[in-house]
A and B are shown apart, each in its own frame.
Chain A
């Protein structure tokens, strides 16, 4: 049996990734082969040293990461940080609201009555005036004399 073949199985056996069926022949080779014994004992030694090689997580790394995540979330797609105070955003919202009402009011005032009548004539309809609503009936529900059905 080839030493490399045996050592690959011994390596996997050490990691509990080799089935016991495959290991029997490798183990019987191991008993009579110094080279494979050296390989296996060093692998076991390394395994034990690595398990004892503990290290603590650096102090301050938690905080540093959470600070950076927070900063990333406040960063726009271009990578610039936007630092706008809350009161400025609130004032901008109120001003926008007032301006939109003012524009709506001005448009309503400028709309001339003649223009409204021209539109009403262009569209065949029967208009009933009332207070305060104005109801427009489509032409299809009037009879030939123009009276409502």
Chain B
């Protein structure tokens, strides 16, 4: 239970910014922690738990993003979804700029940026969660920031 209380807000924040959708984030957080409690005896240390939680949340978020893409590609409710997200009270307080910026980033850039900037994970932890190397994380974060910088300039002009 200590791990749940320690990481729940961070995992929720990660999912909110990955999905840009509060209800979707709640569903993912719920699934992640239910799976965590079912496998709780498998974990040996604090780092392992933290990485496992973010890895699991990331995979579930990517699945959800992929499923939404399918709905949009089927000529579905892309606009309705966007409207639903805009009316979400969770986002009325958050800076519109951040939402738009993250929304325009590809998922593989968004995940490293959110893990680092919103959740403060170290490069080593991100590498473990994404099954990659520290130097790949370093490079991907730079590219994510570069693209974020270009999107920002396009939307709002120079800083």
Contact = CB atoms under 8 A, between A and B. Distances in A.
Chain A contact residues, majority secondary structure: helix
A57 to B, nearest CB: 5
Contacts of B94: 53, 55
Contact of B142 (A8, A42, A58, A62): A8
A148 interface: no
Given A38-B159, A55-B12, A69-B37, 16 more contacts: A7-B142, A11-B138, A12-B142, A39-B146, A41-B159, A43-B149, A46-B117, A46-B149, A49-B97, A53-B118, A55-B16, A55-B94, A58-B22, A61-B26, A68-B34, A72-B38
A47 interface: yes
B123 A15 contact: yes
Interface of B: 4, 8-9, 12-13, 16-17, 22, 26, 29-30, 33-34, 37-38, 90, 94-95, 97-98, 101, 113, 116-118, 122-123, 138-139, 141-142, 145-146, 148-149, 152-153, 158-159
Contacts of B139: 8
A72 B39 CA distance: 12
Contact of B98 (A50, A61, A64): A50
Chain B contact residues, majority secondary structure: helix
Contacts of A17: 122-123, 138
How big is chain A's contact interface, by range?
A: 20 to 34
